[in-house]
Structure 1
Amino acid sequence: MSEFIVGARGHDFGRHSVEELLSSIGGAGFRCTQLAYTKAVEGVKSYADVTPELVAATNAAVQKSGVSIAVDGTYVELGYADEDKRRAEVAKALSQVPVAKALRAGCMGSETTNMAKQPTVSRREAQEALLRSLSEILPVCEEQGVLFAVECVYYHAMNTPEAVRMVLDTIASPNLRVICDLANYVGPENASVDAQRRLWDKVGSWYGDRIVAVHFKGQSFKPDGTLYSTRLEDSCVDYRGGFEMLRALPQPLLPVLREEAVPARAASDIAFMKSFF
């Protein structure tokens, strides 16, 4: 049965030095983070700016703050069908494998490309591109002992439990894992509790043991199906059913990371999150 450690996404706290950033996250009551250097750290405009000196400063800040790096957030577009664009994104990911290892991060993490970014490409084509990208990234991760996790998102290339299972089965790497954002499985047509429970059954039984981190955010849908963000308390997400599934997993410890965190609301958000632990 899994236990949980509560954390937050780093770039919701703004751009700071790594010491200031981790101090702020820890001061808000979170114990771990998803760190995306290009979104959260002053002076980092590209992955080329993630220097050994910056990594060393990050490790020092981890020790000082007690906030661990649950996910090294590597935001890359793994589902680009355009080969030149796809290879450039893979190169970015490969450049960060040694960084994740040096940080002793729980995993590297990426989404799988919003379909709106390439509107003339079919989802099948995007998934084939995703598989090509992962087949190039995972051997390097295996060599360096780094886990690489992909996240299912309703409107991305990898968009359903079925798609996740296909990717895991096709790549078949022991270092390929999953970030589980309960909200990202839910669309307007499957937002009922019964429909969500069927999703959680698939996630838990098909690849629950491959989940390496959990995201936690609030969302709902307008009558026309438009997605919008909410406070956690107002969300349509079936957290209770989702955490019944997560608690039954064999992982001894899972980080649960608040997305879209508002530091001033951290205490009430943490209390709400922990109510499902």
Structure 2
Amino acid sequence: MKIGIRGHDLKARTPGELAEEARSLGFPHIQLVLNKSFGTDIWDFDEERIHGIREEFQKSGVETALLGAYFNPVHSNPEYRQENVDRFKRHLQLAKLFGTPFVGTETGSYMDSPWTYHPRNHLEEAYLEVREVVRDLVGFAESVDACVLIEGAYNHLIYKPELLKRLVDDIPSRNLRVIIDLFNYLNIENHKDHRKILDKALELLRDKISVFHLKDYVVEDGKLRQVALGKGLMDYPYIMKQIKTHVPDAFLIFEGITGKDIAPSREFIRGLEEV
């Protein structure tokens, strides 16, 4: 299985150190968010600099699984929104130089920052608005032979697997695929149904899934709190079996797992890989 980690969840801040740390912890793949890992905006990268990063990664046997260029597609400031659309397109333009076609984002919220729940997020008009932003991104991706990855979340505009399925049906393109972050779809009311939610996502989207984000959680003070993998309520034996059965070529990216939680989480998943 193709196991990776989000680069800025590690301590390293240079390409060589990042690749070495990832490999030493058992991660041959990285979700790379350039400004968070290296403190440098996408506009500051050219072909030579990207080639240098890729060389450093290759020395440690590490590859970029996807670029993260997450932004709020429905931010209330149209100028800020357009700046981020342009930045996302620049990621698409350069993605293959990093060794991946994939650039990912979520679908945002009418709550500008942080992207938490807003009553408008789950309205039909919200879906129609974000769909047109995604359509524009996918059209650009087609022109540069890259791929937009869309990630849903309960608090955002694409808030359930059924709506993500509608999106990929409304924009039929091989340059549009999806990230499944099961934790993102959960809340205090539905978290016990996480197996059913995963099964629905696999039923509807298995042919479009390129990435899974791996998280675990406990319930604390009426809220879901993320914890190390294997230390919470997610049924990972079931989850891993389903992924191996239905989407064995997907990237499995550890997200939000840091510090002392990384090594035991990796060991836990390694045990399930071998079952």
TM-score, normalisation: structure 1: 0.88
Aligned-residue CA RMSD in angstroms?
A: 2.1
The 3-state SS of whatever aligns with 2:233 is coil
Aligned amino acid, residue 9 of structure 1: R
The 3-state SS of whatever aligns with 2:234 is coil
Alpha-carbon separation, structure 1, partners of 2:14 and 2:182: 31
Alpha-carbon separation, structure 1, partners of 2:100 and 2:122: 31
CA shift at 1:106, angstroms? 5.0
Structure 2 CA distance for partners of 1:268 and 1:222, relative to 1, 3 Å: closer
Percent of residue pairs identical: 25
Aligned residue for 1:67?
62
2:219 to 218, 221, 231: 221
Alpha-carbon separation, structure 2, partners of 1:82 and 1:170: 26
Alpha-carbon separation, structure 2, partners of 1:258 and 1:122: 27
How far does the alpha carbon of each residue in 1:201-229 deviate from its partner, in whole angstroms, 9 at most, with x for none? 211111112110111122233343x2322
After TM superposition, the structure 1 stretch with the greater mean CA deviation from structure 2, 159-168 or 236-245, is 236-245
The 3-state SS of whatever aligns with 2:272 is coil
Report the number of matched residues. Answer: 268
How far does the alpha carbon of each residue in 1:147-170 deviate from its partner, in whole angstroms, 9 at most, with x for none? 211111121111111111111111
CA shift at 1:82, angstroms? 5.0
CA shift at 1:258, angstroms? 1.0
Matched, 1:50 2:49: no
Aligned residue for 2:4?
7
Q: Is contact 1:81–1:121 with CA below 8 Å preserved after alignment?
A: no
Aligned amino acid, residue 258 of structure 2: V
After TM superposition, the structure 1 stretch with the greater mean CA deviation from structure 2, 28-37 or 9-18, is 9-18
Alpha-carbon separation, structure 2, partners of 1:142 and 1:59: 24
TM-score, normalisation: structure 2: 0.89
Q: Counterparts in 2 of 1:37-116, with a 5 A limit?
A: 37-42=34-39, 44=40, 46-80=41-75, 82-116=77-111
**Bigger RCO (CA 8 Å, 6+ sep):** 1
Q: Is contact 1:8–1:25 with CA below 8 Å preserved after alignment?
A: yes
CA shift at 1:67, angstroms? 0.8
Q: Which runs of 5+ in 2 are unaligned?
A: none
Alpha-carbon separation, structure 1, partners of 2:109 and 2:229: 24
Alpha-carbon separation, structure 1, partners of 2:233 and 2:158: 22
Q: Which runs of 5+ in 1 are unaligned?
A: none
Alpha-carbon separation, structure 1, partners of 2:184 and 2:251: 17
Q: Is contact 2:76–2:110 with CA below 8 Å preserved after alignment?
A: no
How far does the alpha carbon of each residue in 1:235-270 deviate from its partner, in whole angstroms, 9 at most, with x for none? 222323322321222x55222111123344433211
Alpha-carbon separation, structure 2, partners of 1:114 and 1:230: 25
